Amino acid sequence: MSAMRAPSQVSRDDLPKRVTIWEVGARDGLQNEKTVIDTATKIEFIDRLAVSGLSIVEATSFVRPDRIPQLADANEVMAGINRRPGVRYPVLVPNARGLENAIAADSKEVAVFASATDTFAQRNLGRPMAEQMAMFEPTIRAAREHGLPVRGYVSMCFGDPWEGFVEPGQVIDVCGELLAAGCTEISLGDTIGVATPGQVHQLIDGLVASGVAVDLIGVHFHDTYGQALSNTLSALERGVTTVDSSAGGLGGCPYAESATGNLATEDLVWMLQGLGIESGVDLDELVDTSWWLADHLGRAPVSRVAQAMGRRS
């Protein structure tokens, strides 16, 4: 019996007609791999993702090599990719030095990574949450002066492994600070995958009530507790049109042993297609890419859709 390669479509009038997928596999996904992936494979992975129809492929991060050895080849990756017309290749920058390196590598847009909790800020940034904007503001300002859009990632938006439930107001305050500093959009990160749909509605409603336009909000769900797709649908119901995901479900969470990583892009595309929502992605090409990378990693993709559809050849 052959696998179905596309879902039946039943559209809903209360959902967006089109969703932009922010593909994070080449950065957020690969940075969690313990075995260092060679530069040529990373470049081909990014190129394949772009060919599949993804309009945003986050390429790498300009961090210190000793912090994330997997991404030590950021310059080589940015120099080697085939920049397709109409495709955006944002990069993560932790500070002003990272921004300088990103600009030198001809990066056209960047992202910074903030925390919604004090403990994670201390562990990830080396400073309390109250001081993180002092670190980001010069970077954001310099990027905007160079004409670069800046995405503000906010981690631990729904739960924190040390602090537990995170109050929405705490997240809303950080998002407001990032936007006031010059960020052109924000991404709400469920870093340990504990959110449920009601929380998603609550936080997005709170952000909109605080004056944040819904088209500035993206969502970034991990699937640790199997809630990523339901949480994504919840965000779409509130008008969000940018969703982060990772080809094959690449990525993991170091704070939860059962974490299965980011929302898998294939699983997201299958749901979007079934709802009649455009994404521009060729699902067959995407699944082939995930299986291609799986061969390099020595394991099958985590994505349920990629597993169900299998290889075309």
Choice among 157, 175, 183, 253 that is catalytic: 253
How far lies 238's CA from each of 47, 56, 103, in Å? 32, 22, 35
In degrees and rounded to multiples of 5, residue 230 shows phi and psi of -65, -35
Q: How far apart are CA 109 and CA 161, in angstroms?
A: 31
DSSP 299: S
Cite the beta strand spans of the chain per DSSP E.
20-23, 56-57, 60-61, 91-92, 110-115, 150-155, 159-160, 164-165, 185-190, 217-221, 242-245
Pairing of strands 217-221, 242-245: parallel
Cα 195 from Cα 225, distance rounded (Å) = 8
How much helix, strand and coil, in percent to the nearest 5, is found in the chain?
Answer: 45, 15, 40
Q: Which residues are 211's β-sheet partners?
A: none
253 is catalytic: yes
Indicate the Cα dihedral angle 83, 150, 266, 256, nearest 10°. Answer: 130
Torsional class of 247: left (φ above 0), alpha (ψ -120 to 50), beta (otherwise): beta
Cα-flanking dihedrals φ and ψ of residue 295, to 5°? -60, -40
Catalytic residues: 253
